[in-house]
Each structure stands twice: as structure tokens, then as C-alpha cells.
Amino acid sequence: MKVACFSTKSYDRESFDLILPKHAHDFTYFEAKLDKHTVSLAKGFDAICTFVNDHLDASVLKKLNTLGVKNIVLRCAGYNQVDLEKADELGFKICRVPAYSPEAVAEHAFAMILTLSRKTHKAYNRIRDNNYSLEGLAGFNLNGKTVGIIGTGAIGHAFIKIALGFGCKVLAYDLIEDKSLKTLGVEYLTLDELLSQSQIISLHCPLTPGTKHLVNASTIEQMPDGVMLINTSRGALIETKSVIKALESRKIGYLGIDVYEQEEDLFFKNLSEEILMDEQIARLMTFPNVLITGHQAFLTKEALAEIAKTTLQNLDAIASGANLVNAIKYSY
């Protein structure tokens, strides 16, 4: 198949080029993000390959349909960026990579927790300034702390295994309980109970209309004072303005985010010569107890190899008419 690959970075090209010779697909890489201005680049292709911030809204889907491009392979697990109702109506085949490396994201979430709890981000800068003082660097042990996980799917599961290894008490909330986790000692609670009892809260549920702004002024109020909040899932799970207020009042003691509600205009780009106009992220950067990474939790060699492998298998299945095991189910 002729495939137009959008939002391509050097690491995408490298991982795909390594195994493309084993598959009968011809990839054209575009650095451009897919949106209404760039969708015409897909003309003449059989399929498009997209990532988290590419637009698959109704207008882009309609244009793709007009161009006769009916196959979409997502290089990611989440699909909140797709207008599922329109895609279903127009008969698109859409496949994703459901679990390329849950460990990559879970380990990054833990890297954020350890950085914030042991202040290694401050120590790194201090030592480079020839400053070996330990004043202000006192952290806290993870052993014995209560960690609450919202969403116990593939990534939540991997995260829980790490948390148990650190000797944490693990609380969980999900619409569906995972029995295997209960046997490991994980306690499922209501969302309200989890919020009020967890010293560290990590978000691992998808962004849906039901989870948008799950962390807001009233849910923050239920959390213990000084709580640590970690979001490696999707930015809009958090209402940023409420989190900023809670950081100002010290209700939230630590914040680690790999995703950000307005990330689309910022992340995956080098904007170091630009004037930052996003006042919320600018404010977040001023807190000493906030750690921000630019949607890199997935970015390991292992995950990139798995994304390329599964994406090409998805294209193989579409091309041969085989069962699409990774097709998105149209329930919205």
C-alpha cells in the first residue's frame, strides 16, 4: 500500500525504515501534522499513518473520504483525536497500536515520581553550579506510601507492579476491576475514596467525555493536602487552571505531567527561538515542585520498534482483507 505518514520525526523514520523491507508498503514521510490545511497531501495514497496530535476530525475525515483514502493506521494507543461517529458513518478502517510498551509509560510515570520525591531535578542543576549544599533537598520515601491509580488497563497494570515493588500500598479505581490485581493486594475503591486516601495519584485512563477534567476544583478538594499528582495519560484529564490554583495554595504538593491540555501547539517542536504565549504552561514552569516533559513517556527504543511492527502488521491485515485485530470499535 502507498502510505502517507504524518507528523514524522527522525525516530519514527528510523524505526519504520528498519523493518519496511519485510513489508510490501511504500511509505512517504511528511513532517507536517495532519489537519485541514495538510490533508490534501494524502491524495493518491491508499492509507495514512498518524500520531496523537494529528487531526482526525469531521472535516479532515470528509476530505480524506473525497480523496478516496479510507484506511488509517494510528501510531498510538489513544484515539480521542478521532471523530468516531463521522469515521463510522464514512466507513473508515482505523487500526491502532493498543499496547506497544505499557512499561515505557509506567516507568516514565515513576521517573517523574522519583524526580519530584527526591528533588533530583534541583540536585542536577545545583551540582553543575558547584553548589553541594543539601539545604532544601529533603525528600520522602515511597515505601509505605499510599498510591492511587485511576485506570488499571495495560499501563495502570505495569505501573502497579512497580509501585508494589517499592512497597507502596496500592489503591485503584476503574470502571472494570482486574481480578489479577486484587490477588496482588490492590484494593479497588470508589473514585471519591481513592482521591481522599491517596498521597500520590497517577492517571492512566483514556480521555473520553466522561473523564475530561476528571481533576478539577472539586475533585482536588477531596485529595489530601500536599498530594502528588502524575498525569502521563492525556492533558485534558486535568483542568489546568484549577491545578495551578491548588499549586499556589499548596493543596497540590507536587505535579508531574507528560501531557498538557494545550500541548498541540507546543509539544514535539523546537520553539526555543519563539515567544511563549501560553500563559498556563508558563505559570506551571515557575513552580519548583512541577515537572513537565513533552509527551515523551512512550519514547523508548523498545516502544518505537513495537509501534513500527504493529503498524505495519495492521497495514498488512488491511491490504490482505484479514481480520483487523487492532481495529477501533465504533462505540461512542
| Residue of 134, 176, 275, 277 interacting with ligand NAD (CB under 6 A) | 176
Q: Among 198, 232, 242, 310, which residue interacts with ligand NAD (rule: CB under 6 A)?
A: 232
CB 303 within 8 A of CB 16: no
Residue with cell 489513544: 78
Specify the residue, 27 or 267, whose C-beta has the smaller distance to ligand NAD.
267
Asked whether 202 and 148 are in contact (CB, 8 A), the reply is yes
Binding residue for ligand NAD (CB under 6 A) from 57, 89, 174, 264?
A: 174
Please check whether residue 207 is in contact with residue 234, taking contact to mean a CB–CB distance below 8 angstroms. Answer: yes
Catalytic residue, from 25, 55, 234, 239: name it.
234
- Binding flag, residue 156, ligand NAD (CB under 6 A): yes
Report d(CA 155, CA 6) in Å as an integer. Answer: 25
- Is residue 55 part of the annotated active site? The answer reads no
Give the CA angle between residues 100, 96, 47 to the nearest 5°.
130
Cell digits for 6?
504524518
Dihedral (Cα; 158, 202, 77, 111), 10-degree rounding: -70
Distance of CA 185 to the CA centre of its chain: 26
Which residues from 85-144 bind ligand NAD, rule CB under 6 A? 99, 102, 105
The answer to whether 35 and 54 are in contact (CB under 8 A) is: yes
CB of 175 to ligand NAD, least distance (A): 5
CA 155-324-328 angle, 5° bins = 50
Set 96, 157, 204, 295: catalytic member: 295
Considering the candidates 103, 239, 261, 263, report the single residue annotated as catalytic.
263
Q: Count residues near ligand NAD (CB under 6 A).
A: 31
Assess 220 for contact with ligand NAD (CB under 6 A). no
204 flagged as catalytic: no
> CB atoms < 10 A from the CB of 141, how many?
11
Q: Which residue is nearest to ligand NAD (CB)?
A: 153
Asked whether the beta carbons of 251 and 196 are under 8 A apart, the reply is no
- Which of 154, 160, 168, 170 is in the footprint of ligand NAD by CB under 6 A? 154
Q: Where are the beta strands (DSSP E) in 6-85?
A: 26-29, 47-50, 71-74
CA pair distance 194, 198, nearest whole angstrom: 6
Is 23 assigned a catalytic role?
no
The verdict on 155 binding ligand NAD (CB under 6 A) reads yes
Would you state the cell numbers that stand for residue 153, as one nine-digit string?
A: 488497563
Q: Going residue by residue from 257 to 296, which x/- string records binding to ligand NAD, judged by CB under 6 A?
A: -xx-----------------------------------x-
Min separation Cβ 137 and ligand NAD, Å? 28
Which of 254/260 has CB closer to ligand NAD? Answer: 260
Identify residues 12-51 at the interface with ligand NAD (CB under 6 A): none
Could you tell me the smallest distance in angstroms from the CB atom of residue 263 to ligand NAD? 10
Stretch that binds ligand NAD, among 61-69, 150-158, 162-170, 322-330 (CB under 6 A): 150-158
Of positions 23, 25, 75, 204, contacts ligand NAD by CB under 6 A: 204
How is residue 7 written as a grid cell? 507528523
CA distance 115 to 101: 22
Distance from chain centroid for Cα 177: 22
Residues labelled catalytic: 234, 263, 295
Residues making contact with ligand NAD (CB under 6 A): 77-78, 99, 102, 105, 150-156, 173-176, 204-208, 210-211, 232-234, 258-259, 295, 297-298
